[in-house]
Chains A and B, each alone.
Chain A
């Protein structure tokens, strides 16, 4: 089998289970392709030697009843992995090696998968282009010097370029769905409380959620059923009945009511996004869904609300990186001097910007005007969704207001960068599940994604809709392997 890395996760699992392929063969193929793809800069830390020996061990005594038997996988470098450096894309954790494993990755290894390495991401997941990483830009395999989206940019690039059959990212305001959309891949942000946050480097605790990123919807469903577990170590983890999403996956979505929110027709939205959305509506109709116009009146306030809540939590979550206990330390004259030097040298500009914003909005005298008000608006945004879900089963929107942009294009314009999250942040603020599926190309041939937003805990439903539409859309990613010499 020459095209191992072109196979989907489901095919690989099938081939390993039927012993057509060994874990070693599969792992070797992905390691080799990863090694040839250094120019993408998708990895921060490679662990190929260990991966190959783990694969060999698996093959000696293969447990083929597992869901991910001997499947190699690289993961976003925001997940703490025992004995393997975890940086969160930051200089401040450049030398940090956890002694513990995140619940989500542990769930993956428990099902037989093998860690290949840690994937690049924006520093502390703060960014929409992977340009804030201390470890450099990531190339989008779609085109040279194109951003892969962010913050899970290493993950989206690696999946699209088939360096890993599947991966996981984290999504605080769109960090799974936007990069999936930019790379022509599928990304699911689960309901808040579905996947444990234990062992994931925190950005904004009330918004952060891990989720699968894959070549197709079925693979995404399979990984979601592996990673989503109730976890007592995370007080915000929710104990609800979790489906075997891949087994219960169906293309029969006849009669499903899908809402089209008018407020998502934002000013200045490119015509090709508008056209994509219209096409998406037609695909949904073709699948037998019923289209209903809806209104989410507070949508306009979502972005400003997000850029208060997320930095506020981040400013506090990142206080622990002070040079005292672990990670980078700059020497100083005294404690305060050491703090200041450590944090100004250890954190990049975007992280410092958000810490400043967060500190400001929580300050006495500003708290009520910013943080408290944002919390109230957040409730209104959630109420909007609760209201429309009395009428519809899911909501269809574009994933992003544009296709991928060039590296460096928006680095000096943070607001324009933040606007990239306009369709994804309301979902995080409301704690809902959302999936981005590739749905077409723009004039430059860059992929564009559609987002399906579901009710809380209704991942199965949006996976089903995505699965049905995926077939109608029949999207083909156009990747030339330009980076392989």
Chain B
């Protein structure tokens, strides 16, 4: 593990403070139906249209575990290089709220389905390992809507009973940047596995952020505060910065930090106390008597292991070893499964080096400008591959390729056709080029004389003129060679 050179520290007077962060990520399991019922889980459905008698906790209704969700949780555990617990227990977490129909959430408390694991982060100055404490399955609650009516609250139970994975990290994170890298990596792993779509806008991924500070070099943890339910990476980073500074200020003023639950106000960019430790709920956890302990066999786990695709860390290693990519390039290309699929499709039939440059450079810039995901790219992997081959075999120059690329971004057109229709093919016929060059030299006699008398810088001027006259189509390499001879 390399030494972290760009440490995130808060300076106050003569003191330097380190920030200690742990995350509890709530990731919605990708599944057609809920954790203990057969209701659908589609996002954005009309309120209360995906609610079964079980989800609404009618009398005498009983939960039945959804085996698919169990598989998804175990797969995620395997992706986190974690211990899979062959026996886990569902507990009831008891509290009253209008959008919690049972009056308890079925969760896993003492015996989670997945134990300790790890996630590797690629930071600018090296790799960092973040420990995973546990992963457990639990039900989501419904949604209370307070702003539709001045007096009433409306309850939508579509989300009630949807399967969540709570992934608890160890307090290993030390900066907002590491939190950013951690969430992205976690999201990437789950998307590779198909266990969580990671869509933060739709609430598929949210986190409770635990923050504490301590003087640099101290071995003991400070008192932590938990910032509840933050739903974007940007807000997590903002909340951490605010909260860490607030805690440092308190310590500098000689005050103590109260262990409490806080909320992040995204409008005011500050955290606010929600409830103190004394007011903390007593959830009265106990094993749910409606459900037997969940037991899975070695075979069950082994079968799931065989379904695990190549994950980002392994893919990165392969890209570096097989395609000689730099770690930086490999990181970018494996960061999400769609990008790596795109890349691998492009290089099936074209040059790796050029493909890497074109994807990371032109394509990402163009997609970024249009605010598109790689899956929405107007240019298919097949056509980008063709474009790269046109460059590689000298049919067009890199400069012309950019023009073709721009046209391709307007709609997925075959680059070959664009080149033909617009007559963009590179001029590589020496005779034709000689004629062109002769004319340029002829038209600029005075400059040619200056060049010959030693003003070698003017060579670039001639190259430029030739390219201009050829409409950019002249093969630059040949132009160089012929010009040198002629001048």
Contacts and interface: CB of A to CB of B under 8 A. Distances in A.
A412 interface: no
Contact of A235 (B64, B96, B98, B104): B64
A200 B60 contact: yes
Interface string B67-100: 0000000000000000000000000101010100
Interface string B261-295: 00000000000000000000010111001111000
A319 B290 contact: no
A325 B92 contact: no
5 closest Cβ contacts across the A-B interface? A319-B103, A205-B289, A206-B289, A362-B284, A320-B57
Interface stretch (A91-99, A401-409, A473-481): A91-99
Given A236-B292, A313-B289, A364-B284, A322 B96 contact: yes
B155 interface: yes
A158 interface: no
The interface centre, meaning the residue of A197, A202, A319 with most chain B CB atoms within 10 A of its CB, is A319
13 contacts: A86-B59, A88-B59, A96-B59, A198-B62, A200-B60, A202-B59, A235-B290, A236-B289, A236-B291, A315-B284, A319-B104, A335-B153, A364-B284
B102 A236 contact: no
Contacts of B289: 204-206, 236, 313
Contacts of A204: 289
B62 A93 contact: no
B59 A363 contact: no
Interface of B: 53, 56-65, 92, 94, 96, 98, 101-104, 153, 155, 282, 284-286, 289-292
Contacts of B286: 312, 316, 362, 367, 371
Contact of A234 (B62, B103, B104, B284): B62
A352 to B, nearest CB: 15
Contact of A324 (B53, B65, B92, B101): B101
A205 B286 CA distance: 13
A199 B291 contact: no
B53 A235 contact: no
Contacts of B284: 315-316, 359, 362-364, 367
A339 B59 contact: no
Contacts of B58: 98, 100, 325-326
A233 interface: yes
A316 B290 contact: no
Interface string A188-202: 000000000111111
B59 A322 contact: no
A320 B59 contact: yes
B60 A199 contact: yes
B372 to A, nearest CB: 43
Nearest to A86: B59
A318 B104 CA distance: 10
B59 A205 contact: no
Given A80-B59, A235-B292, A316-B284, 18 more contacts: A86-B59, A102-B60, A199-B60, A233-B64, A234-B62, A316-B92, A316-B94, A316-B103, A316-B104, A319-B102, A319-B104, A320-B102, A325-B57, A335-B98, A362-B94, A362-B286, A364-B282, A371-B286
Contacts of A364: 282, 284
A277 B286 CA distance: 39
Nearest to B153: A335
Interface in A343-362: 359, 362
Interface in A321-335: 322, 324-326, 335
Contact of A205 (B96, B98, B103, B290): B290
Contacts of A239: none
B94 A319 contact: yes
Contacts of B57: 320, 325
B155 A324 contact: yes
A306 to B, nearest CB: 14
A316 B104 CA distance: 7
A316 B96 CA distance: 10
A363 B101 contact: no
A326 B102 CA distance: 12
A363 B94 CA distance: 10
B64 A201 contact: no
B62 A98 contact: no
Nearest to A208: B289
A313 B103 CA distance: 12
Contact of A198 (B56, B60, B65, B102): B60
B59 A201 contact: yes
Contacts of A326: 58
A96 B58 CA distance: 10
Interface of A: 80, 86, 88, 93, 96, 98-100, 102, 197-202, 204-206, 232-236, 312-313, 315-316, 318-320, 322, 324-326, 335, 339, 359, 362-364, 367, 371
A123 to B, nearest CB: 13
B101 A197 contact: no
A316 B94 CA distance: 7
A134 to B, nearest CB: 15
Contacts of A202: 59-60, 290
Contacts of B104: 316, 319
A80 to B, nearest CB: 5
Residue of B92, B96, B153 with most chain A CB atoms under a 10 A cut-off? B96
A99 B102 CA distance: 18
Nearest to A206: B289
A67 B98 CA distance: 45
Contacts of B53: 99-100
A325 B94 CA distance: 18
A26 to B, nearest CB: 29
Contacts of A339: 96
Contacts of A205: 289-290
A414 to B, nearest CB: 23
Contact of B62 (A233, A319, A363): A233
A284 B219 CA distance: 73
B56 A325 contact: yes
B62 A320 contact: no
B98 to A, nearest CB: 5
Contacts of A359: 284
B103 A98 contact: no
Nearest to A312: B286
B53 to A, nearest CB: 6
Contacts of B63: 235
A319 B96 contact: yes
A48 to B, nearest CB: 24
A315 B101 CA distance: 15
Given A100-B58, A335-B153, A322 B64 contact: no
A485 B212 CA distance: 79
Contacts of B292: 235-236
Contacts of B94: 315-316, 319, 362
Contacts of B56: 325
A272 B98 CA distance: 54
Nearest to B92: A316
Contacts of A100: 53, 58
Contacts of A320: 57, 59, 101-103
B117 to A, nearest CB: 28
Nearest to B94: A316
Nearest to B56: A325
A364 B286 CA distance: 11
A198 B62 CA distance: 6
A353 B212 CA distance: 43
B296 to A, nearest CB: 15
Nearest to B96: A339
Nearest to B60: A199
A324 B102 CA distance: 11
Q: Which of B59, B62, B98, B284 has the most CB of A within 10 A?
A: B59
A235 B101 contact: no
A357 B285 CA distance: 15
Contacts of A319: 94, 96, 102-104
Contacts of B65: 235
A478 to B, nearest CB: 37
A102 B61 CA distance: 9
